Structure 1
Amino acid sequence: IFELYLNYAQWGKNIFGCEAASQFYFKKSSKDLNRMEAARLAAVLAMPSKLTPFHKTMFMNKRISTIATNLYYHKTIDAEAYFGMTGTIPPSKDSTSVPVERTRRQDSAERTSF
């Protein structure tokens, strides 16, 4: 299912699939992307009609940080790779909670609850 999603997801105007996005934005195959390029593409999925991997906004930085933190917690990257992606020291693994992205529905419900 995840592979199907990556092959059909929208990554920008008339850009569908991670390979097409990789070719369009980075002029190379998705298998040749470095960690930061891959994280930037993943971050775009949140709002593909409004973002590109080259947007330098707080939102993009937060998305990339969340992606890097999840990769670090799941031992996909080490502390050095985390620092390379975020420019910060990774969070302590002593915590039992893994960062989870919030949904708009959760955020909206919290703002309207009394």
Structure 2
Amino acid sequence: MGRRKPGRRGIFRSLLAIGVCALLLYELGLFAMIVWYKYQNPGSSAFMAATLQQLRATDPHASLQHRWVPYAQISTTLKRAVIASEDSNFTGHDGVEWSAIRQAWAYNLKQEERGTHRRRGGSTITQQLAKNLFLSDSRSYLRKAQELALAYMLELVMSKRRILELYLNLAQWGTNVFGAEAAARHYYHVGARMLNSYQAARLASMLPNPDYYDRHRDTAYLRRHARIVQRRMHLVDIPGSP
């Protein structure tokens, strides 16, 4: 007797198995990269590469301002300001704060009903690092799910100190400005270790919309928010030991 041809159900199961295996291999590859970045400093990130590509679409000679500096060469004031502004419970959570995500979801639904474009993010610093390092700035449920998975991987492999060091060196702080050192020199002509508390608070306040604040550096909102961040800085914990 000849071999029976697989039916549609069999073909579907085979394709599903192939898809699951491919997904697992992809996730394992990302996990391996996270282990690598625990010890090695990335020269760039997915978000930096995407930004450079966008800039070169209109200017073939465009380049990014970026210079890696060790954690110890970034001022304590900037570390405190960024945590106070972006993720006040950074040292206490496991990478994701579901309550913040739910609050942001409810807030954004209300803004959508009102017809406004103002949105609030519920991402932790770890989630933002996952997005900057590996993903794009697109908005989709699939990308968000991947961001959450990566955040848990980062927290599993790395210390809080290393996560913050990576974040501060890869975060966007201007149209083509990435990392704390480049930001400090771009806005204040000093190194990242020399920032005072108000300068650090202003830089932290720029993080949600760095391209806009690169072009509008002295708005009333930015000044007001920087003062709020400055008052909160002493209330947060920062990671110290590796």
Please tell me the TM-score bracket, short chain as reference.
Answer: 0.5 to 0.7
Tell me the distance in 1 between the aligned counterparts of 2:237 and 2:223: 21
Higher relative contact order (CA 8 A, sep 6+): 2
The answer for unaligned runs of 5 or more in structure 2 is: 1-162
Displacement of 1:14: 0.9
Equivalent residue number for residue 174 of structure 2 = 12
Alignment map for 1:1-114 (pairs within 5 Å): 1-52=163-214, 55-74=217-236
Displacement of 1:62: 2.9
Displacement of 1:55: 2.4
Tell me the distance in 2 between the aligned counterparts of 1:52 and 1:25: 9
User: Which of the two has higher C-alpha Rg?
Assistant: 2
Query: CA contact under 8 A between 2:175 and 2:214: conserved in structure 1?
Result: no
Equivalent residue number for residue 112 of structure 1 = none
Higher helix proportion: 2
Q: Which moved more, 1:61-70 or 1:38-47?
A: 61-70
Equivalent residue number for residue 95 of structure 1 = none
Residues 75 and 65 (structure 1), Cα distance of their counterparts in 2 relative to 1, 3 Å cut: farther
Residues 48 and 27 (structure 1), Cα distance of their counterparts in 2 relative to 1, 3 Å cut: same
Displacement of 1:17: 0.3
Query: Cα deviations across residues 14-64 of structure 1 (Å, max 9, x unaligned)?
Result: 101010111111111010111111111111112101003972223212321
Query: CA contact under 8 A between 2:198 and 2:227: conserved in structure 1?
Result: no
- Helix, strand or coil at the partner of 2:209: coil
Q: Which amino acid aligns with 1:15?
A: V
Tell me the distance in 1 between the aligned counterparts of 2:180 and 2:169: 6
Tell me the distance in 1 between the aligned counterparts of 2:186 and 2:219: 21
- TM-score w.r.t. the length of structure 1 is 0.57
CA RMSD of aligned residues (A): 2.5
Tell me the distance in 1 between the aligned counterparts of 2:227 and 2:215: 14
Query: CA contact under 8 A between 2:171 and 2:179: conserved in structure 1?
Result: yes
Residues 25 and 49 (structure 1), Cα distance of their counterparts in 2 relative to 1, 3 Å cut: same
Q: Which amino acid aligns with 2:210?
A: P
- Helix, strand or coil at the partner of 2:211: coil
Percent sequence identity is 36
Q: Which amino acid aligns with 1:17?
A: G
What is the number of equivalent residue pairs in this alignment?
76
- Helix, strand or coil at the partner of 2:212: coil
Q: Which moved more, 1:61-70 or 1:24-33?
A: 61-70
